[in-house]
Amino acid sequence: MNHEEYSRAVLDSLREPPVEIPLIETEEARRNNAARCMTDFFCNRLSANGEVPRRIKHTTFQWMDGLVTLRNARVTDHHWSTLQVKVAEQLHHEAETKPVVYILLCWAISDGKLHVWAIPEDVAHVAFAEIPAGRDGTYKTVEVFPDTHLMRNAPHAPDLSPYYVQCDLLDEELTKLVESIKIDRAAKRADQDHDEIAGDSDSEIADDEATPFFTTATVEFLKELPDHVQDAEWHEEQKLRYQRVLRDPARSLVEALRKQYIERLSPEVAGGKRHLSILKKNDYGKGGYHDHYWFAFYDPRIGSKTRSVQFFFRMIGSERVWRYGFGMGNYCDEYAERLQLAFRSNPDAAAEYIRQAPPEVRVRLSLTKRTRLAENTRKLETFRGFAGLMGVKTIPLPRNMEGFE
């Protein structure tokens, strides 16, 4: 049996749903319950022909005199996983004497679907060779899309639709997966101070634990928001979608910024709370929903974002742009006065600082109308000038945001 025939055998075994699901015990102290569920559910489906896959190492199994290696993904609208270069090299060596197939899985839980690509090793090897390695050269990011069956960053890779099958997930599988995901999230929150993947130096990071990031689905959701600012029913129906494509990736970005940058600059600001916005308005009973989504780090001693200088990131569906930078809230007179004083006291230093800014920084003065300052037009209002000084960027919302982490 060659690699192509082996791929056919795998896909044929997946076309019929399983009669029952395996018993899987979840563990509240562990964070990989969802990964174990997905792997066990797939192996259960593959056992339909009577032969049970036997684990060789991590997510590589022996099945019908060949090897299948699983790559699970569930946090995006397509398959997204990391592949260690040395693992690919080892499998390519194994493929010289036996059939080998890469199983790329996308568990679309909100849709109740499982997308499966069983790619013969010889086809996968050529495609993977085109994908650029990560920063340290030890891994590659593999992405395949259900709507096109194309592999990202591999322009000469063939159409993968001949190696694809879509399966309906059983209600029992969905229930168990949702339960395991909730347990994983609770365990992750409890173990934030030890957020390392356990295992030896050869271990691969579980694919379902991959950091969620903004995708095409994020952009599409943002574009729909302006049409539903008074539609509570739509927001309730889209709750899981909102969490998956917008809230979770934004939360992941906040945590990455907090740990990598903000804590070193100011532990107090990093330790603040409620950095993420919510879609539902809090307008003293007026109701409705925002057409944008954002997060910000601000001075927790002030107690309000509107009264503090902020490091912000904002995605605006109605304008189809996203912005980020340093800015001021609507009631930051004290900060604005300090900034003006600094300019007046040492204009040469301020000018030199601006001249030394990176080329892409956009410096501008933005004056906005504000009711409570209408009688004092000499003030620079919020001056949003700190935003301008540090370089607020306004960028058109792209067709997709794949890879933005």
Task: Look at residue 333 and tell me if it is in a domain.
Answer: yes
Residues 215-251: pLDDT tens digits? 888 888 999 999 999 888 898 888 888 888 899 888 8
Q: Is residue 140 within 8 Å of residue 134, measured between CB atoms? A: yes
Tell whether 144 and 247 lie within a shared domain. Answer: no
- Regarding whether 114 and 258 lie in a shared domain, the answer is no
User: Does 362 lie in the same domain as 278?
Assistant: yes
Residue ranges of E strands in 270-308:
292-298
**pLDDT beyond 60 at 390:** no
Question: How do residues 122-161 score in pLDDT, each as one tens digit?
Answer: 999 999 999 988 766 788 889 999 999 999 889 999 999 9
Q: What pLDDT shows up at residue 365?
A: 56
Structural domain of 94:
3-209
Residue 284 lies in a domain: yes
Helix (H, G, I), strand (E, B) or coil at 19: coil
Dihedral pair phi/psi, residue 48, rounded to 5°: -60, -25
The rounded percent of the chain whose pLDDT value lies above 70 is: 79
Residue 403 lies in a domain: no
Does the structure show a pLDDT above 70 at 303? no
Q: What one-character DSSP code corresponds to residue 325? A: E
Q: Give the model's pLDDT for residue 331.
A: 76
**pLDDT on residue 384:** 38
User: Is residue 33 assigned to a domain?
Assistant: yes
Where is pLDDT greater, at 386 or 332? Answer: 332
Which domain-ending residue is among 188, 209, 230? 209
Mean of all residue pLDDT scores within the chain: 79
Together in a domain, 388 and 327: yes
What's the number of CA atoms in the CB half-sphere (13 Å) around residue 102? 26
Among 146, 177, 209, the domain-final residue is 209
**pLDDT band at residue 106 under the 50/70/90 scheme:** very high
The upper half-sphere exposure of residue 152, i.e. CA atoms within 13 Å in the direction of its Cβ, equals 18
Q: How many domains does the chain have?
A: 2
d(CA 234, CA 21) in angstroms, rounded, equals 33
How distant, in Å, are the alpha carbons of 240, 288, 294 from that of 235? 10, 10, 17
Q: In the chain, count of helices (H) and strands (E)? A: 14, 12
Residue type, 242: Y
Q: Quote the pLDDT of residue 200.
A: 31
Assess if residue 401 is contained within a domain.
Answer: no
Residue 404 within a domain: no
Bridge partners of 253, per DSSP, are none
Q: Are residues 305 and 197 in the same domain?
A: no
Enclosing H/E stretch for 33:
helix 33-46
* 3-state percent breakdown (helix, strand, coil) of the chain, nearest 5: 40, 20, 40
Mean pLDDT for the stretch of residues 325-345:
79
CB 243 within 8 A of CB 263: no
- Count of Cβ atoms closer than 10 Å to residue 215 Cβ: 24
In a domain, residue 214? The reply is: no
